[in-house]
Amino acid sequence: MKNFKDKNCLITGAASGIGRATAITMGRLGAKLFLTDINAKGLEETSQIITKEGGNVYEYQAFDISKYEEVKKFADEIHNEYGSMDVLMNIAGTSVWGTVDQLTHAHWQKMIDVDLWGPIHGIECFIPEMIRAGKGGHLVTISSAAGLVAFPWHAAYSAAKWGILGVCEVLRYDLMQHNISVTVVCPGAVDTPLKHSVEIAGVDKNHPEAKKLIERFTEHAVTPEKVAEIIVKSIKKKKFLVFTSFDIKLLYWFKRKMFPMYHMIMKKLNKLLNKVAEATRKT
């Protein structure tokens, strides 16, 4: 897919961050946009930005992608009026970090519901119609660097992100016969509102050490606009596994090619964050 003009494109998580940046980029490229997010105000703002630039937002609706019935209802409405999607982008997501003794069942449940079931619901509700239409297409899903490597405090988050990466790897081959390509994006640090809204179980985020950690994260962050540019290029080149920063690409290479080095890095990182956790523990 080299040209997005008049292509039906559904994007989840379009109210902010990577989702908004990608929606704006696709709008500039002439795609017919169908946008969702749980944040109704942010979603409306995204739609207005795209429309003012001359882009085409055909439908936008705020709902919770973790609720299958809501995703199915939106999908049925779109298919009945506009037909199948050409591009499906599962971008919506959230994050909770924490050591296993601080994570609650609700934390684990939230990660699986939003970050794993959410994309699966999009795949369930939109990909079969793409297959039936017989026009080919493209599936883009955001996983994470935490879906590739063992970052400290990321057990619950990684459960979802490793899971959806596995789903996409299977679909990469399952969907080839239908000329539907698959891209899974594994961002490292990205400068989105998520960096402020991320919940760190048991940690006081207002503590100076916690603030320092978040600032250090931001120093290495790429912009959502940069990620959107990478996503578009990846669709055009039919790339499967996509990185948004060199540091994560290098760490993943160490894991596969020089495991002792990877093992040492992860142990040191774990010790560092354990010190931060002790200093910032909520009382």
| Residues that are catalytic | 157
- Three-state DSSP class for 133? helix
- Say how far apart CA 89 and CA 43 lie, in whole Å: 15
CA distance 164 to 180: 17
What strand order describes the sheet that includes 8-12?
56-62, 32-37, 8-12, 87-90, 137-142, 180-186, 241-243
d(CA 66, CA 36): 12
d(CA 268, CA 274): 10
Q: Which residue has the tokens 């988050």?
A: 157
Helices (H), 96-178: 105-111, 118-133, 155-174
Residue 186 CA from chain centroid, whole number: 8
How many helices and strands (H and E) does the chain possess?
11, 9
Spatial distance between the Cα atoms of 161 and 269, rounded to a whole number of angstroms: 20
**Under DSSP, is residue 155 helix (H, G, I), strand (E, B) or coil?**
helix
Dihedrals φ, ψ of 204, to 5°? -80, 105
DSSP 13: S
